[in-house]
Amino acid sequence: MPSATPTQSPESRPNFVEESLYEVHQKVHPRAVSGIFATWRWALVWFTQLIYYGLCWLPWNGRQAVLFDLVERKFYIFGLVFWPQDVIFLAILLIISAYSLFLFTAVGGRLWCGYACPQTVYTEIFTWIEQKIEGERNARIKLDAAPMSPRKLWLRSAKYGSWGLLSFWTGFTFVGYFTPIQNLWGSLWSLSLGPWETFWMLFYGAFTYLFAGHMREQVCKHMCPYARFQGVMFDPDTLTITYDTERGEPRGARKKGLDPKAIAKGDCVDCGICVQVCPTGIDIRKGLQYECIGCAACIDACDQVMEKMNYPKGLIRYSTEHAIEAHWGWKEILGHVVRPRVIIYSAILGAICVAFVWGIATKPALRVDVIRDRATLAREVEDGLIENVYRLHVINVSETPHRYAVTVSGLQGIDMVGDRIIEVPAAGARSFAVQVRVPADSGKKGSNQIFFDVKSLADDKVAVHEKASFLQP
């Protein structure tokens, strides 16, 4: 006989609360703020964008000052010309960037994120445009909540249109570093852009519009790996944006100028402005969070409130975990910031930078590649001479045209048939074939070492002594 399944009354059944694992995105409307750190942030915005938008228009020796010519496989950076053989410099530059990130993070936290990251910079610009068109924070919140109207349609059209124009110009400038921007400008006006220029212009511009205009803090919170990467590099002596809990708590509203001790309160008036100015929408009073990009907007906002309340500034400030616990001043903080890991990072970074500069300064102005013809390793020609065929690839790294003399040595009676004087244009290359002949009794059977000498007729210091092998049958 089957057992009966017990039943529960509605009163005795457990109540389950369904919780979503997905957090609905709430748009962040950062409040405008002024102060020393806001000034520094805008100074970096101007500095980085003047370089980005202006550098590609700067002329240099009849060409663009900075041009990455992928078709010709040449990178022009002012007076320097880099070829694919110079990829080592790119590797060193990436190592310098990595160690700089390590050093800056160990010393001052997410300085890169808060002041120079393109996502931060363009978000700052796009937010400024939004503020100028739609108004300050409260006005923008009301506009979002309001139904569609002619005024809202006009404001949104003006905002999105301004964002679109800036994004398009950003994409145009990006492509201008790979295609001569003067030619690109002419092609744009004549509607004769190539497919790849069009694609990358729209692609880069679209992502600028999307990331800086709509996604903003979502990129920093959920897409950028640096937040997680840099977080593990913090230690108790790293300078971070810190809320002084001991001084600020318990928080609460009060009249201006009232001594907080008289009402058993901390210095925090619980105005919430530090949250309103945060571009990622976090509350710094809850402690250090990975969403904090280190922009220091909350410091400027809190200092202004403290000044109005006649309280000392620095309730929110740059400090360290140890400094907050031990109530250190700046002398003690700086003494602990300079610690072994910082010294090691600085020493390694300095050594790599010196090596990089030395490599750039001593970069040869001439390169020669010698390739022996493997189709015909060795053959006998007139007068019983043994001949090997080579192809010489001469690269003029400098921006001055040169005429070079080509000679060969290394074996008795060695001679060369082919061009002995060649001309290579500025930042150009030339390949040509030469036949090297030696008597049959010269050298040993098998491989023999010979040397090609390529020397500039205008400058004896511009010369290459390149070895090769001569095969005797």
Q: Quote the tokens at residue 94.
A: 């990436």
Confidence of residue 259 (pLDDT cuts 50, 70, 90): confident
Task: Out of 170-184, 393-407, 420-434, give the one with best mean pLDDT.
Answer: 170-184
Tell whether the model's pLDDT for residue 126 goes beyond 90: yes
Percent of the chain with pLDDT over 70: 95
Tell whether the model's pLDDT for residue 202 goes beyond 90: yes
- 215-238 pLDDT, tens digit per residue, is 998 998 888 888 777 777 888 889
Residue with tokens 């640096």: 226
- In the chain, what is the straight-line distance between the N-terminal and C-terminal CA atoms, in Å? 101
Question: Which pLDDT value is given to residue 349?
Answer: 93
Domain residues of the chain, as ranges?
240-327, 366-472
Cis ω for the linkage preceding 439 (within 30 of 0): no
Residue with tokens 């590797």: 91
- 440-450 pLDDT, tens digit per residue, is 888 888 889 89
- 262-320 pLDDT, tens digit per residue, is 888 999 999 999 999 999 989 999 988 888 999 999 999 999 999 999 999 999 999 99
Question: Which pLDDT value is given to residue 1?
Answer: 46
pTM of the model: 0.83
Residue 28: C-alpha distances to residues 75, 129, 186, 213 (Å): 41, 15, 40, 12
Percent of the chain with pLDDT over 90: 47
Confidence of residue 44 (pLDDT cuts 50, 70, 90): very high
Tell whether the model's pLDDT for residue 6 goes beyond 80: no
Tell whether the model's pLDDT for residue 326 goes beyond 80: yes
Residue 125: C-alpha distances to residues 64, 153, 162, 204, 208 (Å): 27, 22, 11, 17, 11
Q: What is the DSSP letter of 375?
A: S
Tell whether the model's pLDDT for residue 23 goes beyond 70: no
Q: Which among 112, 130, 115, 117 is positioned nearest to 30, based on CA atoms? A: 130
- 330-357 pLDDT, tens digit per residue, is 888 888 888 888 999 999 999 999 999 9
CA pair distance 420, 405, nearest whole angstrom: 6
Confidence of residue 22 (pLDDT cuts 50, 70, 90): low
CA pair distance 78, 61, nearest whole angstrom: 9
CB atoms under 10 Å from CB of 266, counted, come to 18
- Own/partner contacts of 143-152, CB < 8 Å, gap of 24 or more, are 144/27, 144/29
With 0-12 / 13-18 / 19 or more C-beta atoms within 10 angstroms meaning exposed / middle / buried, residue 299 is buried
Distance of CA 24 to the CA centre of its chain: 31
CA pair distance 182, 176, nearest whole angstrom: 8
Torsion on CA atoms 408, 414, 415, 420, rounded to nearest 10: 10
Question: Which pLDDT value is given to residue 63?
Answer: 86
Residue with tokens 């040869």: 364
Question: Which pLDDT value is given to residue 209?
Answer: 96
CA pair distance 396, 381, nearest whole angstrom: 33
Backbone angles phi, psi at 183, to 5 degrees: -65, -40
CA pair distance 244, 236, nearest whole angstrom: 15
The SS3 assignment for 49 reads helix
Question: Which pLDDT value is given to residue 378?
Answer: 85
Question: Which pLDDT value is given to residue 147?
Answer: 92
Residue with tokens 């002329």: 59
Question: Which pLDDT value is given to residue 363?
Answer: 86
Query: Which residues are registered as beta bridge partners of 297?
Result: none
CB atoms under 10 Å from CB of 425, counted, come to 12
Backbone angles phi, psi at 39, to 5 degrees: -65, -45
Confidence of residue 459 (pLDDT cuts 50, 70, 90): confident
CA pair distance 166, 205, nearest whole angstrom: 8
CATH number for domain 366-472, candidates 3.40.50.880, 3.40.50.300, 2.60.40.10, 3.30.465.10? 2.60.40.10
11-32 mean pLDDT? 67
Average pLDDT, the chain: 88
